[in-house]
Structure 1
Amino acid sequence: MRTLFFVLGALVAVAFGFWAYRVNYETQGTVKRVSALQNQIAAERETMTMLRAEWAWLNRPSRIEALVAANNDTLNLGPLQPDHFGEVAMVAWPPLVAKDLEEGWDGITREDITVTEIAATDPTPRPHHRPEIIQAKAAQ
């Protein structure tokens, strides 16, 4: 009987040792992956900082003014003036096709839609904050 307990105890100890060994190596692998991800995040943040600085350098007003002056003959760029703005009515919209009027973009026509009118009992419905008014209306 003692031998049986000794053998079972040894098997349990080996099983726990194997489990601890596996968990240890899984944890080390996870730590390595987390470290790699943190390094990647740091590199991406550094890249973003560099790109922001480069964007600020490229968009500095003196550079933009020099580019506008150099390309003014072809692009005719300049500051915005009030006469550069227009009204929506001034836009040349494409003509409507009869199909566009009869059928929507999703294929639903006017015949597919039914509208049900509900007669209003109170011409000016308003929310009531006092419960006694709601109960009085419900009792009627």
Structure 2
Amino acid sequence: MSTSLDTTRLLAALENVAVISTTDLQGNITYANDLFCKLTGYAREELIGQPHSIVRHPAVPKAVYKDMWDTIKAGDIWTGIIPNVGKGGGVYVVDTTVQPLRDAAGNIDSYISIRRVINDLMQNFEAVEFSKETFDEYYAN
């Protein structure tokens, strides 16, 4: 019995719990998984080729996105918690990781965004606050 999971099974599990999309260097969507489509209410065909900002919530300061772009263009990984908005106007909050993808020569040729919807955490303030206090206490020492 092998102790490692094959890539297909790992990716299938990830697809079930993570909102995944890729973009070209200009931020136009090149891939959107089923969960992204379901969450936003857009058909895949409506998303592909559109700027990823199609789901941008207007309340998020532009500086957040400038920081993200500066970070990923430099080849680094960016993380943040961001509210987005779907086709019908519904708001969802995602814990987001965006990172560059590289071609065989090592040049950045696209970006991938992997997100987890955290609307449930937004409703459980006590758990979030407890975790933050525990985290802050640990790092204060």
Task: Say which structure is richer in helix.
Answer: 1
Length-normalised TM-score, structure 1: 0.17
**Higher RCO (Cα < 8 Å, 6 or more apart):** 2
Greater gyration radius:
1
Task: Say which structure is richer in strand.
Answer: 2
